[in-house]
Amino acid sequence: MKTNRLQNLIPVYLALVLPLVLPLTLPAPDAALAADDQALEVTIHGGVAEIGRNLQLDIEVASPAGRRLSAHDWSVTVTADGEPFLDQPYPTKLLTPADQGSGGLLPAHARFEWAAPVKEGSAVGQRQLTVDFSGKWEDGSTATLTWTGPVQVDFGQEWTADKISSYIERKGLGLFLLAVFGFGLLMSLSPCIYPMIPITLAVIGARSQDKGPAHGLMLSVTYVIGMALVYAVLGALSATVFSGITAFMQSPAVLVPIALIMAVLALSMFGAYELEAPAFLRDKLQGGGGQSGNLLGVLVMGMVAGLVASPCVGPFLAALLVWVATTGNVVLGFFSLFTFGIGMGMLLIGVGTFPSLLGSMPSSGGWMVTVRNGMGLILLAMAFFFVRPGAVLAARYFYPLLGVTTVLVAVFMGAFDGITAETNWWGKVRKGLGICVLLAGILILLLGVAVNLAPHAQFGLGGIPAPTMVTGAPASGGTTGTEAAPDQASAGFEAPREVAFTVVKTGQGVRDFLDRKRAEAKAAGKPVVIDFWANWCVYCKKLDKLVWHDPAVAAEAARFLAIKIDATAPDDAEMEALKQEFKVPGLPRVVFIDSRGQVLHGLSTGFQPADKMLETMREVR
C-alpha cells in the first residue's frame, strides 16, 4: 500500500519540481551574456594614473566561441569612485580592424584604446576604476561587459614642482629637507663634482697638512658652507622675479668666466704657478695670520667652487628651483638649496679632511706630480665642456683652441723632457703619457684646420647642424611645412628628417600669432607643439641637434602644428605674460596642446632624449 502511495506522489512531485529545475539546465537566451562565455581584460598603461598626464587603458574583448562582435555600435565608459580625477576622455580608438569579408565583424580578440587626462591637483591615492563595454553581436543582440579594478593616482618618477609640493604636504617639511640632503649627496657622486676635488685639495690641503684631522675637518666644513651658500642664493633668487635662474646659469655670461677659472686652476695643477690669492686680498682674508681670517679665505674659495659647479645642474635641482619659483618663499628657497649644497659637499668634506691624514707621507715625488697633472686634465676637460660647440664657441674656434691647449698640456706633462740613464720607470711612463697627449693635440689641431677649411654653411650656430625651420611673419596665415606633412606622407613622400617649425620672435606679435594658429589647429583637429627657444640656451641647441633632427620624432611631429618661439631677445610684457600662461620657468620649454585646444601642462618638458620625447608626443591626442 505504501509503495502504491509513493508511486502516486511521483507525478505530483515532478510537476512541482521540473518547472524550477529545467531553466537551470537550458542555455541562456541570445540577448543575455553569460559571464563565463566572455572576457574583458583591461591594462593600465604604465601601471599608474600619472597626475598631469593621460591615463591610457588598453582594453581587450575576447568573444566566446561562435560569436563575433560588430565593428559598429560599441562604446566604452569609464567611471571612478571618490573625488573625480579624470578630465573629459578622448574618443576611444578601435585598434583591431574588422576582418575582411566578414561583413564588418571584429576578430575574436578585439582591442580598444581609451584615454583621458588626469587632472592637475588630483589627490594621490588608490581609486577603484570601473570599465563598461557595450556592443552588438552579429545577430543584433546586446553585449555588455564590465571590469573593475584598482588604479594608483600618483606622480611619475621625475621630480616636478607639483610633486615636491605634494611630497611636503604629505610627508612634512622635515622629511623633505632630509630628502633634499639625500639628493645632494647622490649628486656629489656624479661627474659634476669631480672638478671640485683638485680645487679643494689645493685650497685646504696645504693649510691642514701639519695640523691634524680636526683642523682639516673644520676647514672642509667651512669650504662646503661657502659652496652651499651659492646654491642658497640661487634658491632665494628663484623665489623672486628672477625665476629664470636655471636658464641664466646656462648662458655664456656664466659659462665663459667659469671655464676661464677652471683653465687658470688647471695651469696651477700643471705647476705653472702656485695657487694663491693676491697678496692684498690674502692679507685681508688672513687678518695677519689669524684663524678667523684663514676660515674666511676658505669660505670665499668655497663660494668660488660653488660657482664653478653651478652650471652642472641635475634634474632634481632644476625641479627644486622651479618649485621654489612657484612658492615665492625666499626663506624656504634659501634653506632648501642650502641643504642641497651641504649634501652635495659631503664628498668634498672627506677630500678636504684627508690631506691632514697624510702628514707622514712624502710631499713630493713622481706620483704626486702625476696626480696633480690628472687633476689638471679633469679641470681642463670640464672647462672645454662648458664652452663646447653648441654651447658657446663655434666649432671653427673651439677645435684650434682645444688643440693648442692640449699641446701646452703635453709640454707640462714632460713630453719634451730628456731621458737619462738615471730616469726611473715612472719618469719614462710620464714622458710616454705626455707624448700621447701631444699627438692628441696635433690631431685636434688638424681637425680644427679641417673645420675652418670646410664651408661654414655646413655648421650651424655653435658648430652644430642648423635646424631647418619654416619662418613666417606673424601676420601671414599660410600653410606651414608641418601642416603639409600628413598630405605628403599619404602621397608617398619621404618621411621628414627634422621637425619643420614656424618661427616667431619676441616683439613680433607672438600673442596674436599663437591665438590664430591655435584656432586653426583646433578647427583642423590637430595638436600643437610649442618650443620656447633662445640662442644663448645650451640645452635649446641640444634639443635641436639630438631631438628635433631625430627621424622618428620628426615623423611623429608631422601630425602636429609645430611652432618655435625665439625668446633670445629680452622679454617684453607680451612674452612675460606668455611664459606665465604656459608655465615656462626657464628654457628650453616644450609645451603641448591637444586637438581640443587644451594646454597639457603635465606633459610640458625641458630637454629630454629623443626616445623620451617621442613617448611624450605619442600621449598627445
- 407-442 tens-digit pLDDT: 888 887 777 877 777 777 777 787 888 888 889 888
209 & 338 share domain = yes
Rounded Cα distance between 51 and 460, Å, is: 38
- Of the two residues 564 and 290, the one the predictor is more confident about is 564
- Cβ contacts of residue 381 below 8 Å, gap of 6+? none
In percent, the amount of the chain with pLDDT more than 70 equals: 70
Residue 21 belongs to a domain:
no
How is residue 452 written as a grid cell? 675652418
Same domain? For 296 and 350 the reply is yes
Range of weakest confidence among 56-60, 134-138, 353-357, 554-558: 353-357
pLDDT of residue 264: 77
Query: Among 154, 182, 215, where does a domain finish?
Result: 154
What's the pTM? 0.61
589 and 443 assigned to the same domain: no
pLDDT band at 466; cut points 50, 70, 90: very low
What is the DSSP secondary structure assignment for residue 172, as one 8-state letter? -
- Say if residue 291 is in the same domain as residue 400: no
Predicted confidence (pLDDT) per residue in 217-239, tens digit: 888 888 889 888 988 888 887 76
Flag whether 31 is in a domain.
no
Query: Residue 282 domain-assigned?
Result: yes
Domain end, chosen from 464, 496, 518, is at: 464
The yes-or-no verdict on residue 120 having pLDDT over 80 is yes
List the domain range (segments joined by +) for residue 165.
161-359+374-385
455 part of a folded domain: yes
Instruction: Kindly report the length of the chain.
Output: 621
**pLDDT level of residue 210 (50, 70, 90 thresholds):** low
Query: Do 214 and 313 share a domain, yes or no?
Result: yes
Same domain, 458 and 404: yes
Residues 446 and 314 in one domain: no
pLDDT at 218: 84
pLDDT for the residue 548: 94
Residue 239 lies in a domain: yes
The mean predicted confidence, pLDDT, of the chain is 75
User: Is the per-residue pLDDT at 303 higher than 70?
Assistant: yes
Q: What is the pLDDT of residues 46-62, one digit of tens each?
A: 888 888 888 999 999 98
How far apart CA 22 and CA 584 sit, in angstroms, is 70
The reply to whether 22 falls in a domain is no
CATH number of the domain enclosing 586: 3.40.30.10
More confident of the two residues 96 and 78: 78
Please state, in angstroms and rounded to a whole number, the distance separating the CA atoms of residues 90 and 444: 54
Query: Burial level of 449, CB count in 10 A (0-12/13-18/19+)?
Result: middle
- Tell me if 200 sits within 8 A of 351, measured CB to CB: yes
Most confident of 20-34, 287-301, 369-383, 558-572: 558-572
Do residues 140 and 287 share a domain?
A: no
Instruction: Enumerate residues 6+ apart whose C-beta is below 8 A from 296.
Output: 285, 287
Q: What is the mean pLDDT of residues 508-532?
A: 93
Assess if residue 5 is contained within a domain: no
Predicted confidence (pLDDT) at residue 188 exceeds the cutoff of 70: yes
Residues 136 and 165 occupy one common structural domain = no
Q: Is the preceding peptide bond at 27 cis, omega within 30 degrees of 0?
A: no
User: Is residue 363 pLDDT above 60, yes or no?
Assistant: no
Amino acid 126 reads Q
* Shared-domain flag, residues 65 and 44: yes
- 124 and 176 belong to one structural domain: no
Alpha-carbon distance of 513 to 531, in angstroms, equals 14
Check whether residue 330 and residue 399 sit in a common domain. Answer: no
Q: Give the domain CATH number at 58.
A: 2.60.40.10
**Counted domains in the chain:** 4
Confidence of residue 480 (pLDDT cuts 50, 70, 90): very low
Instruction: Give CA–CA dist 384/380, Å, rounded.
Output: 6
Neighbouring C-alpha atoms within 13 Å toward the C-beta of 241? 2
Identify the three-state secondary structure at position 135: strand
Cβ burial 568-597 (10 Å sphere, 16+ → b, else e): eeeeeeebeebbeebebbbbbbbbbbbbee
What pLDDT was estimated at residue 507?
87
Residue 4 is assigned to a structural domain of this protein: no
Indicate if the pLDDT at residue 73 is higher than 90: no
Last residue of a domain, one of 464, 483, 516: 464
